[in-house]
Structure 1
Amino acid sequence: MKLNFLLFAMALAAMGPAREAAVPSVAPDIPLPQPQSPEEVEAPAVPEAEAVAITEYDASSVLPEQFRWVARPVVVFADVPEDPAFREQLEALRSRPDALVERDVVVITDADPEANSPWRQLLHPRGFSLVVMDKDGQVKLRKPLPWDAREISRAIDKFPLRRQEIGRAGVMP
């Protein structure tokens, strides 16, 4: 008996409100809003995103110790600034700076072997070379060819220190 009553109550509720309800009256002097086309609808004001730029340094102006535990240096070496691989690498890094800035990357460029910068003394490059270091100062990746920012950011995400940072991201206030 209780089951029948429950089924009846559910069926009645499923029918919805009565269809005989009066239609609300609208005053004839008040115009109804007309639907607008997408072109007529004004887009809400969205603040423009600030342009993100990756921080670049010349190898002769900074020391490797300056970045320990602060940033991840990506060092780009070449024998001459006109090296096509050197230019291609810098273009690739500048094309997607947001992914690299999020990972605390700074770009160090060294296209003058005669200057014998501290970076050259530490890393001993030959010709074009891309070196990715972690915040602890260890070399994590060496590449003889240019890599794009997406590949570099994916490689950085696999570093143990980066994995710790990602794990702490939800804990930090």
Structure 2
Amino acid sequence: MKTLLPFVLAALFASPLSAENGEAPASEQLFFSMDEVDLSQFKWKKRPVVVFADSDLDPAFVEQMKLLRERPDELMARDVVVITDTNPEPLSDLRRKLRPRNFMLVLINKEGTVNVRKPFPWDVREVSRSIDKMPIRQREIREEKARAAEG
């Protein structure tokens, strides 16, 4: 147990040090606020996971973000971007289109259509399973296996 402590402390302090060096942790490229992005910029490139809440203090929102931040590599491997919208006023275009009530998680496929809507937090494993069933993801998996077999 004592030998584990230095590694834990090093991991805790690694993020602030990389920020001081101008390097952004990989997981930061994954999370966006609704006012930072236009959903159309991700069409055919990324799979948006949109997390709605009426406040960033909503317990479901807090839990959802904790779950998503625990396993960013799995999300990035599936071309996921997480977009948050915690301001119900004024209505964003996406809020008008998807009509969330309080907390809602929405998984949008690369084609730009809604694949999953959940009124409660979902962990990365559940999100990943849902993505892995999508036809484009199935093709991506086949292509990755073919490249691995060639190389």
Smaller-chain TM-score bracket: 0.7 to 0.9
Equivalent runs, 1:5-154 vs 2, <5 Å:
52-53=26-27, 55-154=30-129
Give the superposition deviation at 1:73.
Answer: 0.2
Superposed CA offset, 1:109-132 (max 9, x none): 000010311221221111100000
How far apart, CA to CA, are the structure 1 residues paired with 2:145 and 2:126?
25
Identity %: 50
Report how many residues are paired.
124
Superposed CA offset, 1:89-141 (max 9, x none): 00000001111010000000000010311221221111100000111101000
Q: Which amino acid aligns with 1:114?
A: E
> Within the alignment, does 1:160 sit opposite 2:135 as a pair?
yes
The unaligned stretches of length 5 or more in structure 2 are 1-24
1:76/1:130 contact within 8 Å kept:
yes
Give the superposition deviation at 1:161.
Answer: 1.1
Q: Which amino acid aligns with 1:130?
A: L
Describe the SS at the equivalent of 1:140.
Answer: strand
Describe the SS at the equivalent of 2:105.
Answer: strand
1:68/1:135 contact within 8 Å kept:
yes
Give the superposition deviation at 1:52.
Answer: 3.9
Q: Which amino acid aligns with 2:33?
A: D
How far apart, CA to CA, are the structure 1 residues paired with 2:76 and 2:32?
14
How far apart, CA to CA, are the structure 2 residues paired with 1:93 and 1:115?
26
TM-score if structure 2 supplies the norm length?
0.77
TM-score if structure 1 supplies the norm length?
0.67
Give the superposition deviation at 1:83.
Answer: 0.2
How far apart, CA to CA, are the structure 2 residues paired with 1:115 and 1:60?
11
Describe the SS at the equivalent of 2:27.
Answer: coil
> Which structure has the larger Rg?
1
Superposed CA offset, 1:11-55 (max 9, x none): xxxxxxxxxxxxxxxxxxxxxxxxxxxxxxxxxxxxxxxx64151
CA-atom RMSD, angstroms? Answer: 1.7
Give the superposition deviation at 1:170.
Answer: 3.1
The unaligned stretches of length 5 or more in structure 1 are 1-50
How far apart, CA to CA, are the structure 2 residues paired with 1:60 and 1:53?
19
Q: Which amino acid aligns with 2:34?
A: A
